[in-house]
Amino acid sequence: MAASPSTTNGTAFVTVTAKVSIVMGIVATLYAAVQVLVALLVLHGGATDSVLAFLATQPSPAGVRWVLSHLVAITVGLLLVSGAFLAVSVGLLRRRAWGWWGFVAFLVLGAAANFGVIAVIDALFAWIDHLPKAPDAASLAAELAALRRLSLALAWATAVAFGALHALIVWQLCRPHVRAEFGWVQRSR
């Protein structure tokens, strides 16, 4: 018996999406593992302590000091998140319900995180604006203001584009014929 066109399209969509995501998950996991190793090797010598001691004498945000004092934990967290994304991508490929739920959660949280990055970028530039200025730094201040506008514009464009892409993928994954591949039966009305 031949598959209906909607089932074939759903299968191809899920398979391609899962395979692309698996490749992205492998690359992200390997990259995060290298980050953990570099963090362990570089920070083992106490370089962070000297930077933190210097920052203690400067008007720096508490978030910067926190990130620097927790670099290894942050990189391990990124490794775990990358591994979890890889796992849900494999679950999606195998048509497991937990893979579907996990993948959708990653898409929604990823889109939200892109909008959160906008606030981080703005806060970083606000902190830079409050640093002591050199007397001849007027041109640097103008360049930083232009860089801030450009960075925020690109961050907004990226967040909107990826938000739309993620919403489109979630919408496709929520269609009845695709959900049926994961064991959800479409109820008749």
Q: Which two tokens stand for residue 36?
A: 């953990």
Mark which of 74, 95, 116 sits at the end of a domain: 95
Mark which of 95, 112, 137 sits at the end of a domain: 95
Do 37 and 87 lie in one domain? The reply is: yes
Task: Measure the CA–CA gap between 182 and 165, rounded to whole angstroms.
Answer: 22
Q: Could you give the angle at the alpha carbon of 114 between the alpha carbons of 120 and 131, nearest 5°? A: 15
Mark which of 31, 65, 95 sits at the end of a domain: 95
C-beta separation of 110 from 169 below 8 A: no
Q: Give the chain's domain count.
A: 2
Q: Which two tokens stand for residue 49?
A: 């302590």
Do 111 and 69 lie in one domain? The reply is: no
Q: Mean pLDDT in runs of 10 for the chain (189 residues)?
A: 46 94 97 92 70 72 77 93 98 96 97 95 85 74 90 97 97 92 74
The most distant pair of C-alpha atoms in the chain lies apart, rounded to whole Å, by: 80
Do 25 and 63 lie in one domain? The reply is: yes
Do 58 and 124 lie in one domain? The reply is: no
Do 108 and 86 lie in one domain? The reply is: no
Enter the pTM of the model: 0.80
Task: Measure the CA–CA gap between 69 and 109, rounded to whole angstroms.
Answer: 26
Q: Quote the pLDDT of residue 6.
A: 44
Do 117 and 44 lie in one domain? The reply is: no
Query: How far is Cα of residue 23 from the mean position of the Cα atoms in its chain?
Result: 15
Helix (H) and strand (E) counts in the chain: 7, 0
C-beta separation of 181 from 10 below 8 A: yes
* Residues of the domain holding 123: 97-178
